Amino acid sequence: MSSKFNNMTIYLGSDHAGFELKEKIKEFLADEGYDLEDIGPYRYDREDDYPDYALKVCRKVLMGGKGILICGTGQGMDVVANKIPGIRAAVCWNEITAMNAGKHLDTNVLTIGGRVTEPDLAKRMIKIWLDSPLTIEERNARRIDKIKEIEREYLSDK
């Protein structure tokens, strides 16, 4: 199956609270023709914790592609993802935040709340995020460069 993004893979991961929505998103993305890889979990288990799957997905994203992470509210996944150098994640709750995440923040990971987001809204947000390429405006580039500099500064302190 050919990707809509020149063979860019979309990596999906969730914890137990996001499992049901992840399965619906996986089906949606496959039907839309995206290249995707489900990083897990592969069945519902209350012992599946968001830090584990956030890390697995983000490691894949760092090699290329984009990631979608789903937990109860999206916040836990977002916190973990943003601890990883090279990841820019945004928790989104409507179409405007999804557009902003792609168009202005150049995020490579989208996080969604499985307990607080209806499947149809999640699908719309994902489509908007994937279809909203970075706006190459000086102000956006300047801000992203500042984020990268903060990351470099704190990594060099270690």
**Positions marked active-site:** 71, 104
In angstroms, rounded to a whole number, what is the distance separating the alpha carbons of residues 148 and 48? 31
Strands (E), 32-141: 35-40, 66-71, 89-91, 109-113
Strands (E), the chain: 9-14, 35-40, 66-71, 89-91, 109-113
Contact 134, 147 (CB under 8 A): no
